[in-house]
Chains A and B, each alone.
Chain A
Amino acid sequence: MNDVFSRFAASCWGALALALLLGGVAAPAPACAQATTGGDGSIYSRFGVGERRTYSSPQAQAMGGGGLALRSLNYTGFANPALWSDQEFTRLAVEARYRRVSAQNETGQTSQLSNGALQAVQFSFPLYAGKLGVGVGFRPYSRLEYRVQDDPQPVSPVADSATYQVRFEGEGGLQEVSGGLGYRFGETLAVGARAGAVFGILENQRATAFSTPRFSPTTISTRTRVSGFTGTAGALLSLGDVFRDGDALSAGATLTLPATLTGERTLTSGRGLEPDTLNIGSGAALEDEGSLRLPVEAALGLSYKPSNRWTVVADGRYEAWGSGSESTFETSLPGFEGLRDRFLASAGAEFLPAGTDRNATFFRRTAYRLGGYYEQSYVGARALPLDETTGGVSVLGATAGLSLPTPLYGTRIDVGFEAGTRGATSGAPVRDLFYGVSLGVNLGERWFQRRKLR
């Protein structure tokens, strides 16, 4: 009876969290009169394939975003497929986030933008508990989400009082659906492999509106639709009693193979939701078939658990966009030719006051997380349409989070917070200040496992 009540209570918690999660993503600003089509975020997401995203788990996100060696029974980390070998529960995790960006230019003018998006959906289960596990997940690879709205300008300063206003928008992004296995060899070594499909639509629009219906508004849209496959191999080394009794040190590493995404770029012009495909002089449709090559990625992470109350992590990631990316489209994506290598360094800590005490109070069983990261984004100076004295774009961010326990062991609700700045290192025309919140529901159950009498 108590078990039934616990499950019911847990499901109520989950339902509440899901409702908040969906409500928060779908209607981030209910009082706003002007609705936006997609997300609105950083102008720097215009370049390359959009703002690059990496996601492992709600726990890792709140600890700086790495988590390659972050072993946990309550989370399935997607940063490293070798982590899937640790699974004891069948697990479903959903997370959404809402982010607000305040962009400021050199003159002090600001632009307030916000966006909400599904962060990830993950499903995982053990084939042999603690030895062989499977993970399948959906997560964003990149996001294109910007909006710039010029001030009204006169159509013709001499003869006409009509004005026009140009709005630039970017929306879409690449998504990754991946799945794989993690296997543990004894207590020390685990390996994993993941295959994934990367796909998505990157759309840049330039909409021109007029103050009078005498002029027809137009929307010029460039849509890039690509898809391809990639693969990631990972390893995890775990040692116990390294510095003191009962501690645990883990090191993880992954290597992601380059991926070639093939597809087409279409230039359209028109009004409304169904713009016509433009024809160029020869009569052929202005469609361009080609491919994008995503570079090799390598990541390394450490985690250290001095006790069952503390966990600290540190991670580094390298992506060879400078030399490993390539576009065969006739007209490349904005800034794609000028991308540079991407580096990401992160660190974080988690404090769980109750440790393994399942009878402690709610707040003691709540996990408290803190982290930070520095990213040298792949948007280098050459990717920006500015003079070369401008530096590339970098990001400095802080993360935090709470992991709320539920009556059902293995199920947690995660709230994450993030704040940071993004901009060019010198001569920055725009500097973003961003902050956001995420909400995740992480359901864990012993499904598909035969109960044993002991």
Chain B
Amino acid sequence: MTCPRAAGALLLLGALFALAACDNPTNVGDELVGGEDAGPERVVLRPGAGLDVDTARYAPETGTSVPGEIDVARFLAGRQEAGAPLGNVEATGYFDVGRIGAPSELDALTIDSVTVDLVVSYAYGSTSEPITVSLHDLAEEWEANNAPADTTFDSGFAERQTITTFSAAPGDTLSVSLPQRWIREHESELRTAGDTAFGEAFHGFQVRAAGGSGVVGFASSSTRMRVIYESPSGQEERPIARYRLTEQLTTVRSSGRASSDDQRALVQDGIGRALSIELAPPDSLRGVAVNNATLVLEADTAASGLPETFMRPTLEQLELRNGPDDDEGDDLPRGRFLTFNEEEARFESNFALRNVVQPVLNDAADFGEIQLRPPPRLVQVRRQNIPVPVPSLNSALIRLDEGHEPRLELVYTPINEE
């Protein structure tokens, strides 16, 4: 009896394993499932055809008083009248200092001189000649933290009277001596004992354009003030009180028409010029499954019309940000950038832009106006990458001419029912 049973079992096993071969699916039957037309499709949304494009203004943050942030920040000063396509710009810097070291018994010492040390770490505009800037007293206490570039102050906040003027050119390390008149006027403040008392008594300086063409930036970390005292009797070494920058701000005013033609749009830091886009997809794209989305902004790198010596630092990235605060659109995820591709001379999204586009096509989100802005610099402060306002006038000229206009390239899968 055992033998027939075993034979039966073996027969069964053999039948099973004879059938147990690997699957090898192919396109056989493709015409029965509509496979010829089932692949992803490609569409390009252009201005006026699924993508609204415009210029926008915003107020970039340029002020900070946060320790750590201030070490990488800078303030700008100067005036550049460039005309089209960049327009005219005037930057004014503000900074305050705090005492970090002083000799004892300040009352007993006689001030010999006061110098302000500055390092030019940034330049924009004409660089053939140094520019002239002037130093002014600030009359009141002011708040720099998170202050935007369009901050305005009451008349009289900065003294009209010039403390001194000096020339600045890219790469300069300057030591600006303040005049005896200024020392006499501020002797009581400089002799104020105690760092806090000094901070309350002294409000800082304004640095503004006084001549020439161009804008320079001064490194906040290198900005110092030194008060040098006469040597007390019996001593050779002269006592020095040292002050370092505690807060800084740059205000920027622009005038004149930037990008005078309709062929280019100016995106510029400092001034707060941005490009705005808004998705207006046709109904035929509603609900499609987005496989890939690429936002392309071609840049005019030649910037014709500018002299060879014109220094125009360019933007390497643009950040996607929500539009105006009163826009009721959904919040965009932060930290989404377009990166400049030098070879192709264009900004391209190098993140999953489809994750932004898909909810819009699904009617699950409405981001409203999306601005493409110069991003703040990310700096590691206390082991965290935080955006730090480092003022600049870096710019990009985005092409608007036909065939090179901003566009959103979509690869999508239609949602025809299966």
Residues of A at under 8 Å CB distance from B?
A: 13, 16, 20, 23-24, 28-34, 36, 40, 43-44, 46, 98-100, 103-105, 109-114, 146-151, 153, 155-156, 164, 166-168, 204-206, 208, 210, 214-218, 220-222, 265, 267, 269-270, 276, 278-281, 283, 286, 331, 334, 361-363, 384-386, 402, 404, 413, 415, 417, 429-430, 435-437, 439
Contacts and interface: CB of A to CB of B under 8 A. Distances in A.
B25 A111 contact: yes
28 contacts: A20-B9, A33-B22, A34-B23, A43-B32, A110-B24, A112-B22, A112-B24, A114-B23, A147-B23, A148-B26, A148-B28, A150-B27, A155-B40, A164-B291, A166-B38, A204-B418, A208-B39, A210-B291, A220-B289, A220-B415, A269-B287, A278-B362, A279-B287, A280-B287, A331-B417, A361-B4, A430-B28, A437-B15
A430 B292 contact: no
Given A362-B1, A362-B4, A429 B31 contact: yes
A110 B19 CA distance: 16
A150 B38 contact: yes
B21 A156 contact: no
B150 to A, nearest CB: 39
B26 A437 contact: no
Residue among B34, B289, B415 with the most chain A CB within 10 A?
B289
Given A218-B289, A267-B415, A110 B16 contact: no
Given A148-B33, A150-B35, A222-B418, A103 B28 contact: yes
Given A164-B39, A417-B15, A429-B32, A148 B25 contact: yes
Nearest to A34: B23
A111 B34 contact: no
Interface residues of B, number: 49
B13 interface: yes
Residue among A23, A147, A168, A214 with the most chain B CB within 10 A?
A168
B18 to A, nearest CB: 8
B105 interface: no
A269 B291 CA distance: 11
Contacts of B15: 415, 417, 437
Contact of A385 (B9, B31, B38): B31
Contact of B8 (A40, A280, A404): A404
A159 to B, nearest CB: 9
B302 interface: no
B31 A386 contact: yes
Given A156-B411, A216-B290, 9 more contacts: A103-B28, A150-B39, A267-B415, A278-B287, A279-B287, A286-B287, A384-B32, A385-B32, A415-B11
Residue among B8, B23, B34, B290 with the most chain A CB within 10 A?
B23
B352 interface: yes
B2 to A, nearest CB: 10
A212 to B, nearest CB: 9
Nearest 5 Cβ contacts at the A-B interface: A43-B29, A204-B418, A218-B289, A362-B4, A111-B28
B19 A386 contact: no
A363 B24 contact: no
B413 A220 contact: yes
A217 B29 CA distance: 22
B292 A214 contact: yes
B20 interface: yes
Contact of A29 (B23, B283, B362): B23
Contacts of B25: 40, 111-113, 147-149, 167
